[in-house]
Amino acid sequence: MNAQARPLQLALAASLILGLGMAPAQAANPCNPCAAKAKNPCAAKAKNPCAAKAKNPCAAKNPCGAGARIDPKSITRPAGYKPYKGDATALLKDGEKLWNDTKLSTNGMSCNTCHQGHAAFEAGFAKPYPHFVQMAKDQAGLKKVHLDEMVQACMVMPMAAKPLVWESRELAALTAYTGQMQKTFKPAKGKAANPCAAKNPCAAKNPCAAKNPCAAKK
């Protein structure tokens, strides 16, 4: 090898090593599927959830966010309704299971997907039922709802499923469980003042976050 070619070769080798060294940093993080911003449909909300509603990518995928109208009868207590009665402790236990069950919905969500840590509950949740709930007003035209009606409302709207059978153990269990939750609920200060919060499904915790296998290890 002649003396002139050598520095060039060294430079080539160095840039190759540098290039290889940088590649892994650019690869997608396999541990966190939500790391890539483009994959997080809720990322846009950080900017301004109220601006350009139609452009909110979350709204499009969420029947609740899209504000689709539903038949109020499907979530209104039927005449002569006698709620299922059972052992309170057993009902709470069943309710907790159902709360986390994605099979209840047709879109892969469970109640917990949106309501983890009291997320998506407005200040009015603390008041005795029946009471006003923005979503029930906007999408079903109801001025007031009972708790079991609100469970049905979330079954039909955000969960995109059929209402539960009115006198079923399942409805009684979810009602008991959410009733228990209401007792420990404290509205966040200033939350009620934000008129956008109720209509923005992104206000709920990012459903991706819960599925991040890395988060659990920390």
Q: Which three-class secondary structure state does DSSP give residue 145?
A: strand
CB closer to ligand HEC out of 34 and 114: 114
CB of 122 within 8 A of CB of 192? yes
User: ∠ at Cα 202 (197, 207), nearest 5°?
Assistant: 140
Candidates 25-33, 41-49, 71-79, 131-139; binding stretch for ligand HEC (CB under 6 A): 131-139
CB of 47 to ligand HEC, least distance (A): 20
CB closer to ligand HEC out of 32 and 129: 129
Phi, psi of 167 (to 5 degrees): -100, 25
CB of 214 within 8 A of CB of 31? yes
Residues 169-188 touching ligand HEC, rule: CB under 6 A, are 174, 178
CB of 177 to ligand HEC, least distance (A): 8
Instruction: Give the span between the Cα atoms of 85 and 148, in whole angstroms.
Output: 13
Annotate each residue in 1-40 with x if it binds ligand HEC (CB under 6 A) or - if it does not, as one string: ----------------------------------------
Nearest residue to 65 via CA among 209, 204, 211: 204
45 forms part of the interface with ligand HEC (CB under 6 A): no
DSSP 163: P
DSSP 188: P
140 forms part of the interface with ligand HEC (CB under 6 A): no
CB of 119 to ligand HEC, least distance (A): 9
Q: What is the largest CA-CA distance in the chain?
A: 100
CB of 191 to ligand HEC, least distance (A): 10
Cβ neighbours around 156 below 10 Å, total: 22
155 forms part of the interface with ligand HEC (CB under 6 A): yes
CB closer to ligand HEC out of 73 and 201: 201
Instruction: Give the span between the Cα atoms of 118 and 115, in whole angstroms.
Output: 5
134 forms part of the interface with ligand HEC (CB under 6 A): yes
Residues of the shown chain interacting with ligand HEC in the complex, contacts defined by CB under 6 A: 62, 64, 104, 109, 111, 113-115, 120-122, 124-125, 133-135, 147, 150-151, 154-155, 158-159, 174, 178, 198, 201, 204
